[in-house]
Amino acid sequence: MLNSRPCAGYGARIDTWNVTRNRLMEDFKKVFEKNKAWAANTTASDPEFFSRLAHQQTPEHLWIGCSDSRVPANQIMDLPPGEVFVHRNIANIVVPSDLNCLSVLQYAIEVLKVRHVIVCGHYGCGGIAAAMSSQKNGMIDNWLRHIRTTARIYNDLIEKAATQQEKTDLLCELNVIEQVQNVCATTIVQDAWDRGQKFAVHGIIYSVKNGLLKDLLHCEAGNKVTHGADFPAVLK
């Protein structure tokens, strides 16, 4: 006959989990407290803010950036809610197999009629560092293959960098450039340009050390590419 009594230590584990759960829920309550404070402060400074926001969104920018919590689109560009349509993933990658990203891109261009599509990378990107490492990371290695392909293409240039930090920083920049090209190659962008829709695709990179953006390149209708002021010298 099976013993119906709980295993030894079972009750203690339940008690421990209950304590942990209570702490987690207490921490989560802060989300609502801070939200109420933010909503009140926003309304106090601009009484019509939420009324305008509820009517519709009319952003001029689509931001394709990294999921890194240190790289928030609105704050970096000093724009309020409603001004930036955002898609984020590990290492700001754009590939034709990612229907999530392509759906965002299509909606931004065809419905919102954004004027600027921004691909923003950042120095110190964990995805870039992981892609440069030989360490196995599990499922995400399938995603990082896109970065590793870029690294192979530009391997000779990357290896000329003096330090590992410089190599990583360069790959962060090269990844942005590759993703801008990927955005521009989509049927979504090409068809919109063929229709005469006016917008540009920009590649920029953010430094978490000083909060500043660097200007890498821009692409417009007709696949016209313009180098930004901070375009990598090794590619010139």
Query: Catalytic residues, which ones?
Result: 66, 68, 70, 122, 125
Q: Are 124 and 208 in contact (CB under 8 A)?
A: yes
Query: CA 114 → CA 68, 84, 206, distances in Å?
Result: 24, 9, 21
Beta bridge partners of 64: 87, 119
Q: Are 222 and 214 in contact (CB under 8 A)?
A: no
